[in-house]
Amino acid sequence: MALANVWPLDLTTGQPTASSVPAMADAKSFVQFVKRYGPLPPRPEEQSLGLPGHRETFENPVAFGEIQLVLRSAWRGDNSAIDLIAAEDQETARDRWHLFLQNKAESAGIERKTFEGSPIEWSPADPIRARVSVGTNLEIVVEDLWSLIRLLFLQDHRGDRTRICNNEKCLAPYFVQHRRGQQYCGPDCATAVASRRYRQKVKKALKRLQQEERARAVDAMRDGKEGGNY
Ligand SMILES: [Zn+2]
Residue 47 has pLDDT above 80, yes or no: no
Q: Which 3 state secondary structure label does DSSP give 21?
A: coil
> pLDDT tens-digit profile of 186-195?
999 999 999 9
The helix (H) or strand (E) run that includes residue 36 is helix 27-37
- 49 within domain boundaries: yes
Taking the centre of ligand 1 as the mean of its atom positions, its distance from the CA of residue 128, in whole angstroms, is 29
Residue 210 covered by a domain:
no
Give the per-residue pLDDT at 65.
86
Q: How far is the CA of 166 from the centre of ligand 1 (A)?
A: 7
Number of domains in the chain: 1
Task: Choose between 174 and 56: higher pLDDT.
Answer: 174
More confident residue, 175 or 90: 175
User: Distance from the CA of 54 to the center of ligand 1, in angstroms?
Assistant: 35
Rounded mean pLDDT, 148-167: 94
Measure 165 CA to ligand 1 centroid, in angstroms. 5
The DSSP bridge partners found for residue 23 are 10
Q: Express each pLDDT in 198-224 by its tens digit.
A: 999 999 999 999 999 998 888 888 877
Domain contains 130? yes
* Domain extent for 169: 2-185
Distance 200 CA to ligand 1 centre (A): 19
> Across residues 221-230, what is the average pLDDT?
66
CB of 8 within 8 A of CB of 24?
yes
Between the CA of 189 and the centroid of ligand 1 the distance, in Å, is 5
The contacts of residue 157 (CB under 8 Å, 6+ apart) are 74, 82
Distance 145 CA to ligand 1 centre (A): 25
Residue 18: predicted pLDDT? 86
* CB contact at 8 A, 7 and 172: no
34 vs 153, residue with greater confidence: 153
Instruction: Compute the distance between CA of residue 93 and CA of residue 134 in angstroms, rounded to an integer.
Output: 29
Sign of dihedral through CA atoms 150, 155, 159, 163?
Answer: negative
Where does residue 47 rank: exposed (0-12), middle (13-18), buried (19+ CB within 10 A)?
middle
For 72-90, write each residue's pLDDT tens digit: 999 999 999 999 999 888 8
Find the 183 Cα to ligand 1 centroid distance in Å: 9
For ligand 1, the distance from its centroid to the CA atom of residue 178, given in whole angstroms, is 14
Q: Contact, 174 vs 4, CB < 8 A?
A: yes
| Residue at 93 is within a domain | yes
CA of 169 to the centre of ligand 1 (A): 8
Asked if the model's pLDDT at residue 7 lies above 90, the reply is: no
> Angle CA(42)–CA(47)–CA(51) in degrees, nearest 5?
110
Establish if 217 belongs to a structural domain.
Answer: no
Q: How many CB atoms lie within 10 A of CB 65?
A: 22
Helix (H) or strand (E) holding 42: none
* Nearest alpha carbon to residue 114 among 50, 66, 42: 66
Rounded to the nearest whole angstrom, what is the distance from the C-alpha of residue 188 to the centroid of ligand 1?
Answer: 7
- Is residue 185's pLDDT more than 60? yes
Q: Is residue 53 part of a domain?
A: yes
Whether residue 144 lies inside any domain: the answer is yes
Secondary structure E strands in the chain: 8-10, 23-25, 130-134, 138-142, 162-164, 174-176
CA 162 to ligand 1 center in whole angstroms:
13
What pLDDT score was predicted for residue 57? Answer: 46
Residue 61 has pLDDT above 70, yes or no: yes
Whether 190 is covered by a domain: the verdict is no
- Ligand 1 centroid–CA 152 distance in Å is 20
Per-residue confidence band for 116, with pLDDT thresholds at 50, 70 and 90: low
Percentage of the chain surpassing pLDDT 90?
Answer: 41
List residues, by chain if needed, whose CB lies under 5 Å from ion ligand 1: 165, 167, 170, 185, 189
pLDDT band at 48 (very low <50, low <70, confident <90, very high): very low
Residue 115 has pLDDT above 60, yes or no: no
Res. 117 pLDDT band, cuts 50 70 90: very low
Closest CA to 140 of 149, 38, 148: 148
Instruction: State residue 211's pLDDT score.
Output: 92
Q: Are 197 and 205 in contact (CB under 8 A)?
A: no
Distance 7 CA to ligand 1 centre (A): 14
Of 42-56, 113-127, 141-155, 208-222, the one with minimum mean pLDDT is 42-56
Mean model confidence pLDDT for the chain = 84
